[in-house]
A and B are shown apart, each in its own frame.
Chain A
């Protein structure tokens, strides 16, 4: 795989080049590097690490062109706060004139007619989008094995999955192919791959970030968030993408705090909750051990630790199955072969067009979830399943409401195991 010769001096230079955002930005302001150099270094890295299959589309020329524009703005003193940040975007977020496949044959040839709000905001802040990353089809999965375009490998151990559904974005950051990355999280799709790849991942609170231009899976759960190699980098991205958007009526009309200022490192007096239900004997020691070490660290720095209970924890997965698949079956009804997406060839009437196009375009996991979702919403079962799920959802929320009266935050494992083998 040695396609081109890389002098060792360049590798060292690239190591310092492919740094966290704050370090890059400092170098950039000091004139030690340029946005174009940073972008080119990432592009080389993507080429070197092609076998990981983190990206579905790489915008090499366009990213370089954008980087030169950012360099001109830096020279003028008009560059935005994210100048020097090179970001990878999960292929479920729309970028005008670019594909958005959602990891599905259904949208293989679809070109976004508009930019998602998060993309507009990143552009305005002068981040450079380098490409779109692989994912489980329509964000349904936790291994990125459900992509119609092939699996993504975990850079720590290539025989293992990177997690999912935002596996490509997690790998892009873990293998230094981008400074940060955007993902989407419905039921763990940022947090879990971040954990499995050893990077920082954040699902912001629902409503914090506009979903305009995010292809919908389960609308009342979906949220765009980011990956980074440091908490501060993730905060930089959140600072840029957070806030109300008239194009998404579910985005919260609340002011956005200064996240970076809030990262003081001071935890004195912080009330940290440990939900006992999350630390059962089933949890592997390699997961619980390091968490408890961090809990001790927080304690030593003056945080108060309190065991709390979230009694409905054991019902969350069942509730999630019902509600997320119900919403998905409704959201994915739009793929009918009429206006965009795959249309099966040679169909003779409308019904056949719907059925054939959908049956060919969707993969097995997506079909399974549409079937479950349709079932729980169907006449005769709606009350028993969907309504029941919505009621238990309230009980689960009340658990958290009660917990947050006693503590400021909770510490939980993200995944009960580390990265599992592919297959």
Chain B
């Protein structure tokens, strides 16, 4: 399994990142190198091993459904790059294209 520039472009699109042609070349090389190293894990037979997502194995943690004080809309809008009244403003979502 070897990563190509095309793969890098695909993954970049998924990650919402953009790279120059030179950066893509570099990333292709780096990803291949890291993935080559990761291949090492295939030396291990893990057929009957359960995946572990967390070192402390937790089941669902629930709490009582009671109303608690939370931050105001105004506080949450303090870091907004752009806003209008009580809303975050973003560029047009439904465009002509």
- Residues in A lying within 8 Å of B, measured CB to CB: 109-111, 113-114, 206-207, 220, 246, 249-250, 252, 312, 314-315, 317-319, 321-322, 329, 333, 336-343, 347-356, 358-359, 362, 367-368, 370-372, 374-375, 378, 384-385, 387-395, 397
A/B interface sample: 21 pairs, CB < 8 A: A111-B78, A113-B71, A113-B78, A317-B37, A318-B40, A338-B88, A339-B81, A342-B81, A347-B91, A353-B90, A356-B18, A359-B17, A368-B30, A372-B34, A374-B11, A375-B11, A375-B31, A392-B44, A394-B51, A395-B44, A395-B46
Q: Is B25 an interface residue (CB 8 A)?
A: no
A407: shortest Cβ distance to chain B, in Å? 19
Q: Is B86 an interface residue (CB 8 A)?
A: no
Contact A339:B91 (CB < 8 A) given known A315-B41, A355-B18, A359-B17: no
* A-side contacts of B75, CB under 8 Å: 113
Q: Which of B34, B61, B93 has the most CB of A within 10 A?
A: B34
How far is A333 from B15 in the complex, measured between Cα atoms in Å?
A: 8
How far is A362 from B23 in the complex, measured between Cα atoms in Å?
A: 14
- B81 adjacent to A337 (CB under 8 Å): yes
B93 touches which of A312, A321, A350, A384 (Cβ 8 Å)? A350
Q: Is B16 an interface residue (CB 8 A)?
A: yes
B86: shortest Cβ distance to chain A, in Å? 13
Q: Which of B14, B16, B90, B93 has the most CB of A within 10 A?
A: B16
- B16 adjacent to A336 (CB under 8 Å): yes
- A220 adjacent to B53 (CB under 8 Å): yes
- A390 adjacent to B52 (CB under 8 Å): yes
Q: Is B55 an interface residue (CB 8 A)?
A: yes
A207 touches which of B37, B42, B56 (Cβ 8 Å)? B56
Q: Is B50 an interface residue (CB 8 A)?
A: yes
- B79 adjacent to A339 (CB under 8 Å): yes
Interface of A is mostly: helix
- B18 adjacent to A341 (CB under 8 Å): no
How far is A374 from B97 in the complex, measured between Cα atoms in Å?
A: 27
Instruction: List residues of B (31-69) whose CB comes within 8 Å of A's CBs.
Output: 31, 34-35, 37-38, 40-42, 44, 46, 49-56, 58, 61, 63
- B81 adjacent to A390 (CB under 8 Å): no
How far is A62 from B40 in the complex, measured between Cα atoms in Å?
A: 52
How far is A312 from B52 in the complex, measured between Cα atoms in Å?
A: 15
Q: Beyond the given A339-B76, A392-B46, could you list 14 further A-B residue pairs with CB under 8 A, ordered by the A residue number?
A: A113-B71, A207-B55, A249-B61, A250-B54, A315-B41, A315-B44, A321-B34, A350-B92, A350-B93, A359-B19, A371-B31, A388-B42, A389-B41, A394-B52
A394 touches which of B49, B81, B90 (Cβ 8 Å)? B49
B79 touches which of A111, A207, A390, A397 (Cβ 8 Å)? A111
* A-side contacts of B38, CB under 8 Å: 318, 321-322, 385
Contact A378:B14 (CB < 8 A) given known A318-B40, A391-B49: yes
- B46 adjacent to A391 (CB under 8 Å): yes
- Minimal Cβ-Cβ distance residue in A for B96: A349
A397 touches which of B14, B19, B55, B91 (Cβ 8 Å)? B55
How far is A286 from B94 in the complex, measured between Cα atoms in Å?
A: 63
- B18 adjacent to A375 (CB under 8 Å): no
| Interface size classification for chain B | 35 or more
- A368 adjacent to B41 (CB under 8 Å): no
- B14 adjacent to A249 (CB under 8 Å): no
Mask of B1-17 contacts with A, CB within 8 angstroms, 1/0? 10100011011101111
- Residues in B lying within 8 Å of A, measured CB to CB: 1, 3, 7-8, 10-12, 14-19, 27, 30-31, 34-35, 37-38, 40-42, 44, 46, 49-56, 58, 61, 63, 71, 75-76, 78-82, 88, 90-93, 95, 97
A114 touches which of B49, B71, B88 (Cβ 8 Å)? B71
- B46 adjacent to A371 (CB under 8 Å): no
* B-side contacts of A353, CB under 8 Å: 90-91
- A315 adjacent to B58 (CB under 8 Å): no
The 4 closest A-B pairs by CB, nearest first: A390-B51, A343-B81, A340-B79, A249-B61
How far is A111 from B82 in the complex, measured between Cα atoms in Å?
A: 15
- B56 adjacent to A250 (CB under 8 Å): yes
Q: Which of A333, A347, A374 has the most CB of B within 10 A?
A: A374
- Minimal Cβ-Cβ distance residue in B for A252: B56
* B-side contacts of A252, CB under 8 Å: 56
